[in-house]
Chain A
Amino acid sequence: MKANEWKWALSILFIILLAYILPYTLLTDVAKWYGSFLIWLLLAILVIGINYFLTKDWK
């Protein structure tokens, strides 16, 4: 893998780890729509954004 691929891969991995950790720790008692519901949506949108930039040069 090329250097910038590693950078993106690690960012995605980090976000996915957050998607496992946050809802089961910080947010486990937040019974609101802005708890786990929102955080999972935001993390998914973040990953989609990374994919957008990662694939920008594909021709």
Chain B
Amino acid sequence: MTTAMVWWGIVIYILIALFIAYLSRSGKQTNMGSYFLGDRKMGGIVSALSYSATTYSAFMLVGLAGLTYNGGVGALGFELIYLMGVSLVAFFGPRFWVVGKKYGYITPSEMLGDRYENRLVAVVVSITSCLFLIPYSAVQLSGVGYLLQGMTNNEISYTTGVVIATVVAIIFSYIAGIRSVAWTDSLQAIFMIITSTIVVLILVHSLGGFNEFFGTIETERPNHLTVPGNGFWSFVTFLGMTIPWFFFSLSNPQVSQRLYMPASLKSLRTMLMGFMIFGLIYTLVAVMWGFSAVVMFPNLEKADLATPMVLSSDAVPPILGVIVMVGIVAAAISTIDSILLTLSSLFARDVYGHFKKGSTDAMQLRVGKIVIPIIAVLAYLFAELELDLIAVLSVASSAGLLVVVPSIIGTFFWKRGTAAGVLTSVIVSGLIVIILELFKLKPLGLASGMWGITISTILFIGVSLITKAPEQKANEFIDVIRIELKKSK
């Protein structure tokens, strides 16, 4: 694989994606609902592909393959339990969708603020999201930098990689808001699932076919087919990693905001089922990829090297290697651009909308558009600085966002929940997660996410019970869902 091939791959990808983004423009994106939610008229297939591309970042073929390389089959269990957790969409999806339409919510935090009748709730939840997701995007950007640097022996520098990813993510968000993001996401998802499946089939074939492939692992690395196996996937580690991801579809606004977008419940269903099938295949591909690396290169120093080694090995034709590598870069970008768009909508709607009294929809949209490149540049700077704190916040992001989950569940299922309960649970347990991650503490051997969800649940329930609930709003909100769902089913 030569540097020239890598450059060509990147240029061709960007040109095709720009063309798709340009075509995706339809109508005028002159209001928040249109720009950030595609007028709530997104089709099922595009929603499914875009949901997949947003969820599955560069982590899959680098991180998950690396986890498989290190600890074996536990990585499959970890990722599939996440996938099973997406069943939450089957219960929460229609409820988000109905109230989104009814009350015109743009962001999940706006919904919380309205339901608990306290706009500070919306402000605090959005700021929490930004706090964890900007560092998370920064780490995605660094991933692109390292990958390009590693694959081209430093001929494409780290900074060049990071700059390319930042600029492309801004452009994709800017051209037509969620529409250009969703369509370029779809392109990336289709491209990635096809090429990576081909690579894995080639790898398994070149290693002697399915039986011999597993036969080699059974004899050489039997531990890789069991848990706890070589000890990497101890039950406590497994629990600590799966719990935050189990609730990902609710806790992460860049995916929960998607629940407002489908044109109908039928489209929502297509989104859910399409994503689950995509996820199953892609997870299997990433894990088999990691297993191939175990067979081909059993003694690597760092698991992160597994993917670059496989891609540049003789078993994979160079052209295919370049295509998949560009695919991994695109996967990072498709995650970042969705996060950018969601965070800017959170800022414009919930933070700016709160402090600037009487701000109109058009003013919020203008602010949202200004904020997109600002957030991107912030993530870029974080990626360049490579600060320890940023890495900590990024690792903590799935655990940190988990603290909002009790309040989200309460929104739909617990009339006694109060704003004070939300604020206390989110702020206190969010801080606890950060402290635990910062000092690498694991009280009782449990990871930060486990503490985050436990403490926030206790605080949410406890504080709610001693404060006054917005009874009228809660009744109205839950009745609306019941009536509307009955109508549309």
Chain A contacts to B: CB under 8 angstroms: 1, 5, 8-9, 12, 15-16, 19-20, 23-24, 27-33, 35-37, 40-41, 43-45, 47-48, 50-52, 54-55, 57-59
Instruction: Specify the main secondary structure of chain B where it touches its partner.
Output: helix
Known interface pairs A29-B226, A40-B77, A45-B280; A51-B489 also in contact (CB < 8 Å):
no
By a CB distance below 8 angstroms, the chain B residues around A47 are 83-84, 87
A9 to B90 Cα, complex, angstroms: 9
Q: Determine whether B227 belongs to the interface, using a CB cutoff of 8 Å to chain A.
A: yes
23 residue pairs of the A-B complex, CB under 8 angstroms, read A5-B91, A20-B81, A20-B239, A24-B227, A28-B228, A29-B226, A31-B225, A33-B214, A33-B218, A35-B226, A36-B74, A36-B225, A47-B84, A48-B280, A50-B87, A51-B90, A54-B87, A55-B273, A57-B489, A58-B265, A58-B269, A59-B264, A59-B489
**Shortest Cβ distance from B413 into chain A, in angstroms?**
7
A-B contacts besides A28-B228, A36-B74, A51-B90, 12 pairs, CB < 8 Å: A8-B90, A16-B85, A23-B74, A23-B77, A28-B226, A32-B214, A37-B225, A40-B77, A44-B80, A54-B87, A55-B273, A59-B266
Q: Is the CB of A12 within 8 A of B226?
A: no
**Shortest Cβ distance from B166 into chain A, in angstroms?**
35
A32 to B218 Cα, complex, angstroms: 6
Q: Determine whether B268 belongs to the interface, using a CB cutoff of 8 Å to chain A.
A: yes
Known interface pairs A9-B91, A40-B76; A58-B84 also in contact (CB < 8 Å):
no
Q: Is the CB of B227 within 8 A of A36?
A: yes
A55 to B239 Cα, complex, angstroms: 29
Q: Is the CB of A43 within 8 A of B284?
A: no
Smallest CB gap from A21: residue in B: B235
Q: Which of B223, B227, B264 has the most CB of A within 10 A?
A: B227
Q: Is the CB of B413 within 8 A of A59?
A: no
